Amino acid sequence: MNSYVNMGVGAFLGTVFVLMSVSIASEGIFHSEAPEKEGFAIISSEGATEAGGAEEVAEVDIKPLLLKADVAAGETAFKKCASCHTVDKGGANKVGPNLWGLVNRPIASHEGFSYSAGMKTFAEGGKVVWDYDHLSFFIEAPKKHVPGTAMGFAGVKKPDERANLIAYLREHADAPAALPDAAASAEAAPAAATEGAAEKPAEAPAAEAKPAEGHAAPEGQPAPAQ
């Protein structure tokens, strides 16, 4: 008799022990710290260092830069976007819509994606398309260019990085949009032509790109007049 009681108690204690071990072990394995910030933390080397950077954005004409953009570098830069966007044909909508055929696509038009009210307003019912300027300004400072957008991304502040990105996106289309006309964009952007050197890292050795990662728009210098 006694031994049955002992066995019963032993079995019970054994079970309790196993359950406790499992719960302690799984706590150890699966315990996850609550994130300090909710949602995606988009670490942008530019945005992070530049408090209120969006306010100090210099409006740069992206078109001349596109003509000498580096698509391979754009692919690397796209890693910043890839957590939320696919770019391949027929790719899924993730947090953001698929970006195949983006250049000159009507804004907020990708099927199956539910855009924010801010983006829909900006699209004016599909009349406005993602031309090079809109893309550049939006990618530079999403919330500034499209108030109320749901795109939680600080922005890409370096003009040449944006050009590379846009060149990469441009190639992801059935029929890539025409590149801007060099002559026309030089004409349209006298500021970029005269101050252009400041935007070309190759020709602007010191003050600009190098010392402070993320000061693509030189502080203290007036923005190029448009």
Establish how many alpha carbons lie within 13 A of residue 193's alpha carbon, considering only the half-sphere containing its beta carbon.
Answer: 9
- What is the amino acid identity at position 76? T
User: Contact between 209 and ligand HEC (CB under 6 A)?
Assistant: no
State in angstroms the smallest separation of the CB of 155 from ligand HEC.
8
Residues 135-194 that bind ligand HEC (CB under 6 A): 139, 149-153, 156, 165
Tokens matching residue 180:
């801007």
Nearer to ligand HEC, 135 or 196 (CB): 135
Q: How far apart are CA 226 and CA 65, in angstroms?
A: 16
Q: How many other β-carbons are positioned within 10 Å of the β-carbon of residue 194? A: 11
State in angstroms the smallest separation of the CB of 223 from ligand HEC.
22
Q: How far apart are CA 46 and CA 61, in angstroms?
A: 19
Reference 161, options 180, 135, 179, 143; nearest CA is: 135
Query: Which one of 17-25, 108-116, 170-178, 201-209 is the stretch in contact with ligand HEC (CB under 6 A)?
Result: 108-116
Query: Which one of 16-24, 47-55, 113-121, 192-200 is the stretch in contact with ligand HEC (CB under 6 A)?
Result: 113-121
Residues that bind ligand HEC (CB under 6 A): 40, 42, 80-81, 83-85, 95-97, 102, 107-108, 110, 115-116, 118-119, 130, 139, 149-153, 156, 165
